[in-house]
Amino acid sequence: MLRGGLIGCGFFAMNQLHGWREASRARIVAICDRDPARLAEAGDTFGIAARYDDAARMLAEEDLDFVDIATTVGSHRALVELAADRGLHVICQKPLASSMDDARAMVAAVAAAGRTFMVHENFRWQSPIRAAIEAVRGGAIGTPFFARASFRSGYDVFSGQPYLATDERFIVQDLGIHVLDIARALMGDAVRITATMQRVNPAIRGEDVATMLLVHDGGATSVVDCSYATRRQPETFPETLLEVDGEAGTLRLDAGYRLTVQTAEGSETRDVTPRLADWAERPWFNIQESVASIQQHFVDCIEAGRAPETSGADNLSTLALVEAAYLSAAEGRSVDVSEV
């Protein structure tokens, strides 16, 4: 049984604590938060007695195998380096860092400690997205040459996560990062990106609309479009919709979790609605299910001694797309990902 310590008991960490309860061969034995109210609420809800207001002290006093870092981005580097110093495996929330230098230093620190480092990049672990990725990777539509990954919504994300309204960067750093990662999972690494960004909602600081054009290794194209300014019915939050064209067919993941594959042999539509865990709720249940899945993948990889699919090193390529997208939008030009 792997013993974990969770750092950050905020909004999203509740899902992580539920997910850890479901995990095989791992559990959270200690928690940490600087906010006493959040620490008490998480500890009481999940029956965890070992509670700390300081991460260094938790790591010094507890016998841990891994840490799960669920704080916001500003604290990630220091906490990852602290865990690496103590020789622990690490899973850290996205966005991993707010600069490529920080992200690279974090990957190097955990690698030097010889431990497993995974980013909690969970959208590609949503079971409907996973079904699409597996169909494409399994050759169901032949070699893909075009993809569109689209997340458009008018949902109020600011009440649960107030920092999203006040941070300088919003939709690409927070949400686009996941959708860019899905594009990579479907189409492979991207080498070039062109992005436009808009702020439609005047009450927030950052951009709430982004449209990005990616050129992948080998020449395939994808469009990643994200909006939190789209009022439509039915509201599809928080579904990512997909279209992939391949040399032998097409795949679509439509609203309502309907996955369609069309080839010369015909058309097949499957219902790929995620499992509604007993702790989960609509409309978030696709994300909640993915939290449990990614955490189990982390445990399986530690035990098998293999790199997770969404390892820290892998995530550098997703983070580079985020940085390149902001550079592209700021300078009004196409950006080679190697520039960042």
Give the footprint of ligand NAD on this chain (CB under 6 A).
Answer: 7-13, 32-35, 38, 55, 70-73, 75, 93-94, 120, 122, 161, 174, 287
Closer residue to ligand NAD in complex, CB, 95/249: 95
CB of 177 to ligand NAD, least distance (A): 9
CB of 16 to ligand NAD, least distance (A): 9
**DSSP E strands: which ranges in 34-178?**
50-52, 66-69, 89-93, 117-120, 144-152
Distance CA 174, CA 157 (A): 11
Distance CA 55, CA 57 (A): 5
CA distances to 52, 68, 259 from 266, rounded to whole Å, are 58, 45, 14
- Name residue, tokens 């960004």: 197
Helix-, strand-, coil-residue percentages of the chain, each rounded to 5: 40, 25, 35
CB of 235 to ligand NAD, least distance (A): 18
Closer residue to ligand NAD in complex, CB, 55/261: 55
CB of 303 to ligand NAD, least distance (A): 23
Q: Is the dihedral of CA 178, 142, 192, 315 positive or negative?
A: positive
With contact defined as beta carbons under 8 Å apart, do 25 and 303 qualify? Answer: yes
Q: Is the dihedral of CA 158, 161, 165, 171 positive or negative?
A: negative
Closer residue to ligand NAD in complex, CB, 161/317: 161
Q: Which residue is nearest to ligand NAD (CB)?
A: 10
CB of 99 to ligand NAD, least distance (A): 15
Closer residue to ligand NAD in complex, CB, 220/294: 294
Here the tokens at position 213 are 């054009």
Here the tokens at position 224 are 């990643």
Strand partners, 271: 258
Closer residue to ligand NAD in complex, CB, 230/293: 293
Q: Is 200 left (phi over 0), alpha (psi -120 to 50) or beta?
A: alpha
CB of 300 to ligand NAD, least distance (A): 19
Which one-letter amino acid corresponds to residue 183?
A
Closer residue to ligand NAD in complex, CB, 251/314: 314
Closer residue to ligand NAD in complex, CB, 34/252: 34
CB of 240 to ligand NAD, least distance (A): 11
